[in-house]
Amino acid sequence: MKELHSIEVLQFRSNCIISFVEVLKKSTNSHLYINNQIVKSNETYTGNLTKFSRKNLSRALEIIYLTTPFRYCFNNALNVFVNFKLSHLTLTLSGTNDLWTYKDYTAKLLSPFLSDCKRKYGMTKYVWKAELQENGNIHYHIISDMFQNHSDIKNLWNYHQRKHGLIDGYYRNYGNYHPNSTDIHSVDCSGNVANYLLKYISKSSQNKVKLDGKVWDCSLNIKGKKYFTIKTGDNGFTEMSALRNFMLFETIERDRCIIYKPLNGSLSQCLPPSVLSLMRSYYSSFDV
C-alpha cells in the first residue's frame, strides 16, 4: 500500500521560477516515487544527445552560470580590465589518427588538456560538448570560468596535439607547428544565457552519428547538481507565495507547471532578501 501526498515546488532557474506539484508516494518496499516514477540516479552513455542528456546538459549550463560570479580580469589584448563571468572555448583537430576512436581523442587530448587548464590557468568549473564537423572530425565546445589569453590556450592545445602527431601534416604544408586550432571569447551573460548556449552547442545536426563514448561532461562541482528549490513548508516559501500576488512576474501556464518570468530586471532583483540569501548560500556550497 502506498501513502500519497503532494507539495508545491518552486524551482529557481537563471531567468525564471517554475512552479509545479510534486506527488510523493512511499511504498512498503521503501522506494521513493515522484510523480508515479521511481527515483533513479544512474545514467548510461548512448553516444547520442538524447532528450534526457540534453535536459541534463541544459541544467549543467544553468548551474555553471548561477554558481560563477562576475570578476574583473585584465585583458592584455585590449589593455583594460573587463567584467568577466564565463568563457566559450572551441577546440578543433589539426589532424587525425586513423587508429583512434572517439574515446581516444577524448582520453588522450581533451582530458589532459582540461587537467592542464585547471593546474595552470585556475579553471575550476566547466561543461564540454563534443560535436562532429562536416568533415567528420570531432571538435569540442567548452564553457568554463577560465579567463586566459588566446595564444596560451592555442599553444597548450597544440602541445597536446603535437604529442600524438596530429600536427605533422600541418607542419609539412606550412613549416610550423602553430595551427589556428582554438577560439576563445567571453560569454555574453545578459538574457537567457543557458538557452543560448544549449542551442549553440547542441544543434540537432550533430547528433545523427553515434559516438562511442560521452557526448558531453562537466566538472565534479557541477555534475549531478540540482536547481535551488523551495517546497511547501520550507523557509522562504511563504514570502515567495505572497510575492506572486504582486505584478512583478509574467505568468505562463503550461500543462504541468507555471512559469514566472520577471517583468523588469533580473530574477535576483525580484526576490525577497531572505530567499536570495538562501539561493546564494545553496549555490556557493557547490565549491566547497
Residue 288 lies in a domain: no
pLDDT tens-place string over residues 146-185: 999 999 999 999 999 999 999 999 999 999 999 999 999 9
The verdict on residue 227 lying in a domain is no
Are 195 and 93 found together in one domain?
A: yes
Q: What is the mean pLDDT of residues 83-93?
A: 95
108 and 204 in a common domain: yes
- The confidence score (pLDDT) of residue 267 equals 87
Last residue of a domain, which of 169, 190, 218? Answer: 218
Q: Are residues 161 and 245 in the same domain?
A: no
Ramachandran class of 188: left when φ > 0, alpha when ψ lies in -120 to 50, beta otherwise:
beta
Are the C-beta atoms of 230 and 11 separated by less than 8 Å? no
Could you tell me the maximum CA-CA distance found in the chain, to the nearest angstrom? 75
Q: Which residue has the higher pLDDT, 154 or 77?
A: 154
The pair phi, psi for residue 83, each rounded to 5°, is -85, 110
If 0-12 CB within 10 Å is exposed, 13-18 middle and 19+ buried, where does residue 273 land?
exposed
Quick one: pLDDT band at residue 5, thresholds 50, 70, 90? confident
Question: Are 66 and 145 found together in one domain?
Answer: yes
Q: How far is CA 194 from the centre of its chain?
A: 8
Phi, psi of 270 (to 5 degrees): -95, -10
Domain region containing 109: 51-218
What was the pLDDT predicted at 24?
Answer: 72
- The whole-model pTM stands at 0.86
* Residue that finishes a domain, picked among 218, 244, 259: 218
| DSSP β-bridge partners for residue 25 | 4, 33
Does 228 fall in a domain?
no
**Is residue 226 one of the residues assigned to a domain?**
no
**pLDDT at site 35:** 47
Nearest Cα neighbor of 20 from 282, 267, 235, 254 is 254
Total number of domains constituting the chain: 2
Tell me the one-letter amino acid at 93. Answer: L
Indicate if 63 and 194 belong to the same structural domain: yes
pLDDT band of residue 191 (cuts 50, 70, 90) is low
Q: What is the CATH number of the domain that holds 154?
A: 3.30.70.1910
